[in-house]
Amino acid sequence: MRGDNPRILVIEDDRYIADFIALSLRQQNYSCQTAASAAEGLFLFQSNRPDIVLLDLGLPDRDGLEVIRELRGIRETPVLIVSARGQEKEKIDALDAGADDYITKPFHMGELMARIRVAQRKLNRETYTEGEIFSMDDLKVDPLKRQVLVGQEEVHLTPLEYRLLLIMIRNRGKVLTHNHIAREVWGYGESESTQTIRVVTANLRRKIERDSAKPRYILTEIGVGYRFADE
């Protein structure tokens, strides 16, 4: 790693938003570059090797999904999508095309910073590894013993619920699409319906959340999927 804070490339054609993001990032001591088109963004991506990319899906010269695939073809740099409200389909397609996360306009700077910290963790490989004990508030998961505790109490999960929980913990802070979850939990080739995932998630929540209506751990990303709380 070069220093503590990553270098961020913002690909966004809306000058006002791009300048606002760049200014805010610089105030937080991030180094930041902006590009107003896909062509310029790809050029800067190639030449300056940023650590994290913030990508607006609605660019004037190229389709956003194409840009993601092109970035992915070059390097595994974390890509955060900046999208407009109500574009659930676009967000899902973007995540499935290889984007790491998304943030919806208009957003608070604090929210963007939280997403960047998650991407930074991927960069630093500070991710949860297989076999490690996970603990957050009163939830504790011990994969070696295959034991899940809420407070002092052991909860019994079905194999599906347990797999879902581990996948969420491994990706904590990051949004997981229904497709992604179906692939990881049920395996490739099987297209489990969103409804099935909802049911398994609801059961898991009932077992690990103090209040399923106000979940502490498994957060819903409406129309897209789920995100395991990051902090």
Binding positions for Ca ion, rule: CB under 5 A: 13, 56, 58
Measured from the CB atom, the residue of 94 and 204 that comes closer to Ca ion is 94
- The minimum distance between CB 9 and Ca ion, in angstroms, equals 15
In the beta sheet, which residues pair with residue 104? 83
Q: Which residues lie closer than 8 Å to 62 by C-beta, 6 or more apart?
A: 37, 38, 39
Give me the least distance between CB of 42 and Ca ion, in Å please: 16
Across the strands, what pairs with 150?
139, 153
Asked if residue 114 lies in contact with residue 230, where contact means CB atoms within 8 angstroms, the answer is yes
Which CB sits closer to Ca ion, 13 or 221?
Answer: 13
Minimum CB distance to Ca ion, residue 58 (Å) = 4
Phi, psi of 225 (to 5 degrees): 165, -135
What is the maximal distance between C-alpha atoms in the chain? 56
**Least Å distance between CB 130 and Ca ion?**
40
35: β partners: 11
Query: Is there a contact between 179 and 92 (Cβ–Cβ < 8 Å)?
Result: yes
The nearer residue to Ca ion, 58 or 215, going by C-beta atoms, is 58
> Which one, 22 or 169, has the nearer CB to Ca ion?
22
**For residue 19, what are its two tokens?**
């300048």
Cα 223 to its chain centre, rounded Å, is 15
Q: How far apart are CA 40 and CA 217, in angstroms?
A: 39
Supply the minimum distance, in Å, between the C-beta of residue 46 and Ca ion.
Answer: 21
In whole angstroms, the minimum distance from the beta carbon of 13 to Ca ion comes to: 5
Report which DSSP code applies to 141.
Answer: E
Q: Distance between CA 222 and CA 1 in Å, rounded?
A: 35
When the beta carbons of 58 and 143 are compared against Ca ion, the nearer one is 58
Residue whose C-beta lies closest to Ca ion: 58
> Cβ closer to Ca ion: 56 or 93?
56
